[in-house]
Structures are given as C-alpha cells and as structure tokens.
A and B are shown apart, each in its own frame.
Chain A
Amino acid sequence: MSASLRPFDRIAPRRQWLPYLPILLIAPSVVLLLALIAYPLAFALRNSFYFWNLQAAAEPLGFIGLDNYRRVLTSVDFLASLRNTVVLATVGAAIEFCLGLSIALLLNAALPGMAIARALLILPTTIAPIVVGFLFRYLYDPGAGLIPWFLRAIFVPVPSQGLLGSQWTALASVMAADVWQWTPFFAIVLYAGLLSVPAEIIEAARLDRASAWTMLVRIRLPLIRRTAAIVLMLRFMQLFNTFDPVLVLTRGGPGTSSRTLGYSLYELGLVQFNIGLASAMTWIVVIIVNAFIASYVFFAFRNEDW
C-alpha cells in the first residue's frame, strides 16, 4: 500500500458528520482571524472615500470619492517609497537567500564544531527588529560607529554625513541591517531542508561524477524547492512591510531616499493623523501585496500538492 495514502481514504466514514470534521477543527481559527482582519479592512475601505484628519475632527468630515486615491497615487512620497520598497524587498531577499544558501551548504559539510556555529547563528534572528535598529544606529554612528571605522580601515570611502545621512547609502544601510538579521534565518531553514535530502541520491550523483555545481542546481535545490519557495516568499513580504528599522535608523530620510511604504503609512496615519489618506494607501498596499502573492503562488506552487 502506498505511503502517501491518508488514513481517511482507507477507513470509511462511520457517521454523517465526519466529512465536516476538518471544517469544524479549522473553523475557530478562521473565524477569529476573519473577525480580526475584516474590521480593519472594512474600516479602511470606508474611510478611504472620506476626508478625515483626526487632528481636525473626531468624525469623518466629508465624502470626497476617489480623491484620496488620486492624491496618494500622484504624490512624490508614495512613488518614492514604492520604488524603495520594491528595491529593498527584491534585492534584500535575493542577497539573504544567496548568502543563507551558501552558509547552509557550508553547514551541510557536517564537520566537527558546526553545531556551535549553528547555535550562534540563530542569535541575530531572535533579536526584536526595533532593537536591531538601535544596534545598527550605534554601529553606523559617523564618529564612534564600528562600521564606518572598519570601512575606513580597509580604505572604503565613507560619506561625511555618515552612512545613514547620505541619500546614496541610506537605503543600502537599512538593507544591510536586515541582511545581518535575517540571513541566518535562511541558513538555518535551508540547512534543515538540505538535511532531508536522502543520502542515497547524493551518493548516486557522486558515482556519476556530478560536479558540485550540478549537484546543487540539479539535485539539492529541486529537492528543497518548496521550503525555499515558502521562506523566500515570507521574507520578501516581511521586507515589503519593513517599518521598525526605518523608523529607528533613518526616519525615511534623507529626503525620501530610504522611505518605505510601511514608513509612509505610519507617517500619514500616526504622525499627521490623516486617516482618509492613510486608509487609501492601506488599500493600495493591500492590493499590491495580494498581486505579488498571487503571481508568486501561481508560478512557484502551480504543481504543488499539500
């Protein structure tokens, strides 16, 4: 009998309600989650059609149709933050994936002492993002920071305003902090995936004289494809929502050079209290995020079965 058969295919349901059992088990979590996300989304949808600034009034001031959407879509801030966010998410996730995979392959060599390396590697990931922001603010400090000092020591020019103060390096500096924190996450997850690749397959490939590169691209990567696709998507979307490090490190500056969508939302909603504009932007972001997820799922999980 094939191992992939689930018990439910073999044992006939005895009672009428049995087909509904999975639904009954899943329903509580779905209902709670729907209740928790439906209200914010409906709230934002309604208020995105109103002019409403909390500093001016406690209730919406007037229906203005799609005006909020038009203002968001034509504002320089929004377009700059959309560009920054896409750059941050794609480049950041790609760097983290490549570095993480390299470290996972090193760990996979299973030499003595690597258990310690693995245990230490998990450390950055467990620190709160906002604390990582503070950590890197010290590290980037133009005077006493370790990073400018190190870069100067190896003769890399550092902008005189500091790495966070120059419009050319601010976004890259925010990204570097994220790469520092989340590369170990990729390394650990992909290493766990590599462990599950059966040794016989690797042995067979070795007998066939497959090169290390062929082995990686043709055997290891395809076998850990699903794990890789899921962590990559998760990380991409978390990067897309980057907020805490931007708040602590650069406040979106200088100018709009490191402003992300998350930070723009925060500024519109919680600094300027412009609920109408913030709601419209929320819906635009929700639509963009869903478009990304849908196309990614379509291409990456087309042939997957759970």
Chain B
Amino acid sequence: MTSRTVGRNVAIYAVLAIAMVFFICPIGWFIALAIRPPETAFLSPPEFTFTPTLDAFRHILVDPGANAPQLANSVIVAGCAVLLNLPFSAPAAFALSRFKFRGKKNLMLWYLGLLMAPPVAFLIPYFILVTRVGLSGTYLAMVLVMQTLTIPFSVWLLKSFIDEVPIELEEAARVDGASWLTVMLRITLPLVRPGIIVTSMFSFVFAWNNAPSRWC
C-alpha cells in the first residue's frame, strides 16, 4: 500500500467518523435522558455524569395508568396493516415487473404520487367517513387508512425485488405448462421471500410510525 492510499483511507475514516458522531450522538443523549434521574435532566449547562436509573421504564410499563396497552394497540394495528397489504401489493408488483402494457409508467407514478399525499389533509374526511360507516374506534379503520401508505410503498419495493429474480425459471415453468398464477404463487413469490420479509418490515415501521392516522 502506498503512502498516498494510506493518507486517503485515513481521511475517509476521519470524515466518516465525524458524520457518525453527528448521527449517533443525539440517540445516545436520548438514551441517557431515559435512564437519568428526572431532576438532573434539565440542568444547565448539560450534565454528563449521573447515576443511571430505570424508574422511567417502570413508570410507563408497570405503574397505574401505564402505556403498555397502547404498545399492544400499535403492534396489532401495524401487524394487521402489513398482513392486509401483502395480498394486494404482491400480485400488483408481480404484474408490474413481468408484464409490459400501456400506461405502466403512469401507473407506477400514480402509486408513487399517493405516497406524497398530505396525510393531515385526509384526517377530517376519514374521521367523518369512519364515523358514518360505524367503524370509529376500531382497529379495522386504522388498518384500512394505513393501506394508502403501505400498498404503494410495498408495490414499489417488491417490484424492484421481483425484477432481480431471473425470468428463466419462470419461462421453464411456463414451457412445462404452468399457468401464470401458478408461476407467481409457486415460483416467483417463494423466490423473493427475503424481499417480502424486508418489505413487510419497512411497511411495519411505516405503519408503526404513522402518527396522523392515530386520530381516526
């Protein structure tokens, strides 16, 4: 290794280290806030040494009026959102990846455009719609509303995963007389299982993080 490459590598590590400090320090500070005694949280200037305590965790998980049930709600809603989303998005992603048809580009961009709709603008209409249909306060209402986010997102991500699967396998199955549905269910989707898992994880995080839909 020449001295020039060594110098270059040191520079790369140094810049990357500064970037990591910038991105990781706030998280470390947040963790420190969670485990420090409350009366030391707002000392000015900031205090860096303290005796750690888990009181805050006990308070939100165990104490009366704790937030544990809300945690369960979040898990149920985000989990169901992912489960409902796959039967809709997986066939669409397969069709968009494997078939050529007119208007495909516009359809892809339409899905993308949905991801960009201002969520706050839809709150009141959804609130009134959900109340009229008699679904207010149910998990189903929240799960349905989240599909406007999770379906477009999953279609895009899954399509890119299916694009990577070699089409020769599907052709072989076709030549052997399998129908397209059989090909999709028995060959393509099992092959993109890692992609489906990744997509589900991201959709879960999307649904989990989506605060505005909580008003429904």
Contacts and interface: CB of A to CB of B under 8 A. Distances in A.
Contacts of B122: 37, 40
B100 A275 contact: no
A33 B151 contact: yes
Given A8-B100, A11-B174, A138-B33, A304 B105 contact: yes
B120 A290 contact: no
A33 B95 contact: no
B171 interface: yes
Nearest to B104: A306
Interface in B131-158: 144-145, 147-148, 151-152, 155
A265 B12 contact: no
The CB with the most chain B CB atoms within 10 A, among A36, A263, A290, A297, is that of A36
B121 A265 contact: yes
Interface of B: 9, 12-13, 15-16, 19-20, 22-27, 29-30, 33, 41-46, 87-89, 91-92, 94-96, 98-101, 104-105, 107-109, 111-126, 128-129, 144-145, 147-148, 151-152, 155, 167, 170-171, 174-175, 180, 184, 205, 208-209, 211-212, 215
Interface stretch (A18-26, A201-209, A215-223, A251-259): A18-26
15 contacts: A7-B171, A11-B174, A18-B180, A25-B184, A26-B91, A40-B129, A121-B23, A123-B23, A126-B205, A139-B26, A139-B29, A143-B42, A180-B22, A240-B118, A286-B121
A289 B145 contact: no
Contact of A44 (B100, B121, B151, B205): B121
B185 to A, nearest CB: 11
Contacts of A124: 23, 26-27
Nearest to A3: B167
Contacts of A135: 26-27, 30
Given A241-B118, A282-B118, A36 B125 contact: no
Interface in A10-54: 10-11, 18, 21-23, 25-26, 28-30, 32-33, 36-37, 39-41, 43-44
Contacts of B205: 126
A240 B116 contact: yes
B46 A149 contact: yes
Contacts of B41: 138, 144
A111 B15 CA distance: 13
A151 interface: no
A232 interface: no
Contacts of A240: 116, 118
Contacts of A44: 121, 125
A129 interface: yes
B98 A106 contact: no
Contacts, number: 217
Given A26-B107, A33-B111, A261-B118, 13 more contacts: A22-B96, A40-B122, A106-B12, A121-B20, A128-B211, A129-B211, A184-B23, A241-B119, A269-B124, A270-B120, A279-B124, A286-B121, A293-B109
Interface in A57-76: none
Interface residues of A, number: 86
Contacts of B104: 306
Nearest to A36: B148
Question: 10 smallest A-B Cβ distances: which pairs?
Answer: A237-B116, A40-B125, A143-B44, A128-B209, A25-B95, A25-B91, A22-B95, A22-B99, A282-B121, A43-B125
B118 A43 contact: no
A77 B22 CA distance: 34
A130 B120 CA distance: 14
B148 A37 contact: yes
A135 B212 CA distance: 18
B91 A290 contact: no
Contacts of A37: 114, 117, 122, 148
A29 B114 CA distance: 12
B29 A146 contact: yes
Contact of B13 (A9, A111, A293, A305): A111
A230 interface: yes
B41 to A, nearest CB: 7
A301 B105 contact: yes
Given A44-B125, A121-B23, A10 B171 contact: yes
A154 interface: no
A32 B98 contact: no
B105 to A, nearest CB: 5
B133 to A, nearest CB: 10
A56 interface: no
